[in-house]
Amino acid sequence: MLTHRNANIALFVILGTLLLVQYQWHSIPWWLFVLLPLPYVSLVAWGACTIESNFFMPVVCAADTTEKVVAITFDDGPQLKHTPQILDILQQQQVPAAFFCIGKNIPDNEVLLQRIHEDGHVIGNHSYSHHFWFDMFGAKQMLAELKSVDDTVENVIGKRPRLFRPPYGVTNPNLRRAVQRGKYIPVGWNIRSLDTIAKQPEEVLQRITPFIKPGAVILLHDSMEVTLQALPALIAHIRKEGYRIERIDKLLNIPAYA
């Protein structure tokens, strides 16, 4: 498996070999040493932005199964504008889901968070601030954010989330350290709806339905109107194809709370 550690080892081996050749025969042009880091930088950028790559740390993105079962997940709530309506649809259709919540959205929405829990859905950690520069935080600051979410959630439902989804799906060494210290289980996805940029519900469905397969984890956002519009048709399609929708902790066989 290609990981950050393996990439570092490969870089140092190649660089060491080039330096040895240069020392012995003086035959390597200087510009080769300048260009050498470029593929490495590109690889690191790809690994940081591709959550299912497991480049910096293991992230569970799907279940290894042949059974026709999938999980639906929502990020960025709870929000009064759309989360209640999404919960209504899930309740009517008897569909369990996971909500990866932003901590700062919970104050003044405690009743809504309590409803998510009482309706039988999983509540996960999606950082406290979901700050644009979250990926640039140090490990200590990242961990403080995650623990703030845990404290806030525990004050409402009496349980501390163990499942964590990185903001923007970006991973790096600092996040790995924070996750390890906090003993979280990082959870990603393998079907991304891009509902945050879609204009019509049909676009959301087109991003999801062709890629549904056993063990899939679907990423949606309960902050988007287009997601609310697409959800009933998505549930109907999944069931029409003979799939069962399961709660993510059961699908992945991992504990939802500490």
Catalytic residue among 4, 121, 126, 221: 221
CA distance 111 to 156: 8
Indicate the domain borders of the chain: 4-49, 69-252
Cβ contacts of residue 242 below 8 Å, gap of 6+? 68
Q: What is the pLDDT of residue 12?
A: 55
Decide if 127 contacts 103 (C-beta within 8 A). Answer: yes
Instruction: Measure the N-to-C terminal CA separation of the chain; round to a whole number of Å.
Output: 29
Catalytic residue among 75, 150, 195, 222: 75
CA distance 69 to 63: 9
Instruction: Provide the residue-wise pLDDT of the chain in tens; the chain has 258 residues.
Output: 667 666 555 545 555 554 555 555 566 665 565 666 777 777 778 889 999 999 999 999 999 999 999 999 999 999 999 999 999 999 999 999 999 999 999 999 999 999 999 999 999 999 999 999 999 999 999 999 999 999 999 999 999 999 999 999 999 999 999 999 999 999 999 999 999 999 999 999 999 999 999 999 999 999 999 999 999 999 999 999 999 999 999 999 999 999
Closest CA to 165 of 127, 134, 139, 202: 127
What is the model's pTM?
0.88
Three-class DSSP category at 136: helix
Q: What is the pLDDT of residue 164?
A: 98
Q: Indicate the fold that domain 69-252 takes in CATH.
A: TIM Barrel (3.20.20)
Active site residue 135: no
Q: What is the pLDDT of residue 46?
A: 83
Active site residue 75: yes
CA distance 70 to 64: 11
Decide if 91 contacts 84 (C-beta within 8 A). Answer: no
